[in-house]
Amino acid sequence: MHPARQQETSHEETSAERDTSRLEAFSDGVFAIAITLLVLEVKVPHFDNASTSSALTGALLRQWPSYLALITSFFTVLIMWVHHHIVFRLVRCADVKLLFVNGLLLFFISVVPFPTAVVAEYLGTSAAPAACMLYAGFFLCISICFQLLRMAAFRPAVMIPSASDATLRRLRGSYWIGPPVYILATVIAPFYPFAAICICSVMWIFWAAMTREC
Amino acid sequence: MHPARQQETSHEETSAERDTSRLEAFSDGVFAIAITLLVLEVKVPHFDNASTSSALTGALLRQWPSYLALITSFFTVLIMWVHHHIVFRLVRCADVKLLFVNGLLLFFISVVPFPTAVVAEYLGTSAAPAACMLYAGFFLCISICFQLLRMAAFRPAVMIPSASDATLRRLRGSYWIGPPVYILATVIAPFYPFAAICICSVMWIFWAAMTREC
Amino acid sequence: MHPARQQETSHEETSAERDTSRLEAFSDGVFAIAITLLVLEVKVPHFDNASTSSALTGALLRQWPSYLALITSFFTVLIMWVHHHIVFRLVRCADVKLLFVNGLLLFFISVVPFPTAVVAEYLGTSAAPAACMLYAGFFLCISICFQLLRMAAFRPAVMIPSASDATLRRLRGSYWIGPPVYILATVIAPFYPFAAICICSVMWIFWAAMTREC
Amino acid sequence: MHPARQQETSHEETSAERDTSRLEAFSDGVFAIAITLLVLEVKVPHFDNASTSSALTGALLRQWPSYLALITSFFTVLIMWVHHHIVFRLVRCADVKLLFVNGLLLFFISVVPFPTAVVAEYLGTSAAPAACMLYAGFFLCISICFQLLRMAAFRPAVMIPSASDATLRRLRGSYWIGPPVYILATVIAPFYPFAAICICSVMWIFWAAMTREC
């Protein structure tokens, strides 16, 4: 192959890559900030009785819904970032459709601290059903956005030419599992709020197991 | 063409690109953080009566001005990020003027959570006119900054040589629509506060439609 | 060597590097945000008596536990970022194991503002033992995660081929110091809370001294 | 020149550049987050009387110290980011000394929201002297750190070989202006608090004028 021509090809590839690199960097930023803002919902406990070590320990332990919500949200968003990364590695450039769907996904990701805070506040109260339904409903929206992102990304117009059919088939198959499970969690939340949170927690372990890199 | 010479040209291009790449990365950071901080303005509702699911649902629904303000601000900032990206792809290097105008734009972008919080708090009260005027006024400032950015960016001194006249003409034309519409929104806000917010909401759909990538 | 072939090798290297570059960028984001959110725990002092300069100065000085906790957490997280960087420079690509361990480390890093705020609030009270034990316990968890990260990173499957044995031996040796020291800090915290914080403060100076770059 | 050899040189340069690129990206993150967190200190006004538009407007206007502090801090941090960028463009790789000084600078940058909030709260009260002294004192610390950064960066061990003497002399000269001016601001703050803030505000305009890129 002629070096000059190869240079050109390489230059075009770089230029195409640059198109999504800033989009990926911006998305990474939103994911990283949303995941780190979650900690702001865990409040330093304040209590009326004397500030002794046992009072503080008790107050810290009573905040378990905050920790459960934080851990579930953190690892779900983290796994979603990993899958966002997997999808975008197959994307050559971003058109309006992909930009719009990605924006919708980022919106729901950035808002995750809100339902997390609601669950942290109300999981231990009799308002738990509504709080958990909001929480599961949010993750349902995110999984639908992911489905849309996959559909927008795996079109010949934006995909890299070297994407193997096997990879695409595997990714297509696995993403269909998300929405039905989150629908189930949302539907059972009014009756078994804690079970709904558990389903959301288990999902990220499932997504993590599906990740294959290197 | 001689490979060594081509290498040099390519090296210079890379070096020039690096000049704006850190500026773009920093701007991306500010956009991403401002957009994600918006969620902090949506407060977990607290209510006096017993924490039942219906009380929580009611309290969550009564916060609709927060959600409206969040969605409008999120997608407007997102679309502005897309257009910031489109402008900077045509920039070869950043001089003082461009740095200064970009700084002014970033200032208003980073402050967006403040008018958003004011609208979220006062849209349902009789102080809505002042709140909406502040909100529309902010987006007017941002659209003026964008106009200044476009003027600072589309000068031969900082532009890439390969920028086509057609692209420039299209971008120049479209940006002039922003300021007058936001002036209208600001002016009618004292009389029809809700209409002003609607105009701001509609604008980002218009900006989105104008985006052409890939 | 033939230029075309060299080009290919270089292209493969770039492609492999890109695999970890987005992971590193995301990790950097989480580190940078966690470190900057620490300042939100330092509250503007409010006091009952007249707002005179001496009252403000006194109120600012009485917040010394906030400053101590902020400084200790900031520099510990900063040094951990430096070491995260040192480890990942030896990594060629990220597999599931490394992704998972890195996620666990990022979780604890992102949560650092919480124990920092607890120490800032309760170091001056009789609840200091519990607060300091929580704080030291957190850094123990982080140092264990770092140990796991090192083990996940220094496997032939993910490491760059050119990593020298001397570098690996040095890094392996130095990281074993972390967990025992943090165990000590956690164990003595109920009896000497202030000493536990001091040990945590001293550790980052030790980690800093171990850094060798350039 | 032989293409293969040139390729190697170029590869080494890229590798050296990568050393500081992650440090720059991390620093950029801290700068971008610190600058965007400033808006959190501007609170939505709450007032006792009826929520009318004129009451809200009045309450918003009474918050002028918040806006003044926000604008001064935002543009000072922004200009410092520009100068951080200018210094690091001359750096080839980061050794322990440079890492440590950069860490110290990032610490003070990340803490800027705190003195900003103190000034915003107390500029209109009789505690203004103490608040402004804290504020000016912070910027004094930052300008000293910048001086140290310049000294750590402009050593042959870490500098790029192509840095021109003229550039170095210009940068060396201009940075000496910072500390004395901020010392002056800190010293006069107890007597003329408002003048101290004005000096801090004027400084970033001076730094901006000194920026020469492209």
Q: Is B81 on the interface with D (CB under 8 A)?
A: no
Report the chain B residue with the minimal C-alpha distance to residue A122.
Answer: B51
Q: What is the pLDDT of residues A128-148, one digit of tens each?
A: 888 899 999 998 999 899 888
pLDDT at residue B105 above 90?
A: yes
Is position D5 within any domain? no
Chain A CB contacts of C96 below 8 Å: 208, 211-214
Q: Taking 80 as the threshold, does the pLDDT of residue B5 lie above it? A: no
| Chains in contact with B via at least 3 Cβ–Cβ pairs below 8 Å | A, D
User: Who has greater pLDDT, D129 or C2?
Assistant: D129
B134 to chain D: which residues are within 8 Å by CB?
A: 60
**Distance between CA atoms of residues D111 and C78, nearest Å:** 14
Q: Whole-angstrom Cα distance, residue A201 to residue A71? A: 8
The pLDDT of D74-85, averaged and rounded, is 86
* Distance from the A175 Cα atom to the nearest Cα atom in chain C, whole angstroms: 18
The 3-state DSSP class for residue D91 equals strand
Is residue B6 very low, low, confident or very high in pLDDT (cuts 50, 70, 90)? very low
Question: C14 — contact with chain D (CB < 8 Å)?
Answer: no
C71 near C25, Cβ under 8 Å? no
Please check whether residue D32 is in contact with residue B26, taking contact to mean a CB–CB distance below 8 angstroms: yes
Give the pLDDT band of residue B166 (cuts 50, 70, 90). confident
pLDDT at residue B198, as a whole number = 86
Between B9 and D175, residue with greater pLDDT: D175
**C110: chain A residues, CB-CB within 8 Å:** 35-36, 38-39, 74
- DSSP state, residue D209: H
Nearest CA in chain C to A204: C100
Mean pLDDT estimate for chain A: 80
Using CB atoms, which chains have 3+ pairs under 8 A with D? Answer: B, C
- Chain C residue numbers with beta carbons less than 8 Å from the beta carbon of D23 are 85
Contacts of A40 in chain B (CB under 8 A): 40
Residue D12: pLDDT over 50 = no
d(CA A22, CA B79): 14
pLDDT at B208 over 80: no
**Backbone φ and ψ of A42, nearest 5°:** -85, 110
B71 contacts in A (CB within 8 Å)?
107
Would you say residue D7 lies in a domain? Answer: no
Given B6, B40, B44, which is nearest A121 (Cβ)? Answer: B44
Least confidently predicted of A57-71, B9-23, B132-146: B9-23
Mind telling me how many Å the CA of A138 is from chain C's nearest CA?
Answer: 21
- B12 lies in a domain? no
Q: Is residue D63 part of a domain?
A: yes
pLDDT reading at B25 higher than 70: yes
The answer to whether D110 contacts C35, with C-beta atoms less than 8 Å apart, is yes
Residues 6+ apart with CB under 8 A from D146: D80, D83, D105, D175, D178
Chain B interface includes A194 (CB < 8 A):
no
Average pLDDT, 10 consecutive residues per value, chain C (214 residues): 39 46 85 89 78 84 87 88 84 81 91 90 86 91 89 81 72 74 90 87 73 56
pLDDT of residue D105: 93
CA distance B177 to D130: 48
In terms of CA atoms, which chain B residue is nearest residue D51? Answer: B127
First to last CA, chain C: 29
**DSSP assignments along D11-28, one per residue:** HHHHHHHHHHHHHHHHHH
Q: Give A205→chain B minimum CA distance, Å.
A: 25
Nearest to C111 among A39, A82, A213 (CB): A39
In a domain, C9, yes or no: no
Average pLDDT over residues B33-58: 83
Task: With beta carbons less than 8 A apart as the criterion, state whether A92 and A20 touch.
Answer: yes
- Which domain does A209 fall in, by range? 64-214
Q: Is the pLDDT of residue D17 over 50?
A: no
Of the candidate ranges A56-70, A122-136, B58-72, D163-177, the one whose mean pLDDT is the lowest? D163-177
Out of A39, A57, A214, closest to residue C114 by CB: A39
Dihedral, CA of residue A31, residue A33, residue A34 and residue A35, to nearest 10? 80
Which residues of chain D have a CB within 8 Å of the CB of B106? 35, 78
Domain membership of residue D9 (yes or no) is no
Angstrom distance (rounded) from CA B150 to CA C80: 41
Q: Is A202 on the interface with B (CB under 8 A)?
A: no
- Residues D34, D45: Cα–Cα separation, whole Å: 23
A32/C29 CB distance under 8 A: yes
Three-state DSSP state, A191: coil
DSSP state of D42: S
Query: Which pLDDT does position A49 carry in this prediction?
Result: 65
Q: A96 and chain C: CB distance < 8 Å anywhere?
A: no
D171 in a structural domain? yes
At residue C88, the pLDDT reads 85
CB A196 within 8 A of CB A189: yes
Residues of C in contact with A39 (CB under 8 A): 34, 37, 110-114
In whole angstroms, give the CA distance from residue B211 to residue A148. 19
What's the mean pLDDT in B103-123?
Answer: 90
Chain B CB contacts of A33 below 8 Å:
32-33, 36-37
Is the pLDDT assigned to residue B159 strictly greater than 70? Answer: yes
Query: Which chain A residues touch B70 with a CB distance below 8 Å?
Result: 111
> Would the CB atoms of D44 and B99 count as touching at under 8 Å?
no
Put simply, whether A4 touches C (Cβ < 8 Å) is no
Q: What residues of chain A lie within 8 A of the CB of B28, using their CB? A: 22, 25-26, 29
User: Of chain D residues 38-57, which have a CB less than 8 A from chain B?
Assistant: 38-40, 42, 44, 50-57
Q: What is the pLDDT of residue A106?
A: 93
CB nearest to B114's CB, from D28, D39, D214: D39
Residue A209 lies in a domain: yes
Task: Say how many domains are in chain C.
Answer: 1
Structure tokens at C125: 């009270």
| Three-state SS at A89 | coil
Chains in contact with chain C (at least 3 beta-carbon pairs closer than 8 A):
A, D
Residue A161 has pLDDT above 80, yes or no: no
D61 touches chain B (CB under 8 A): no
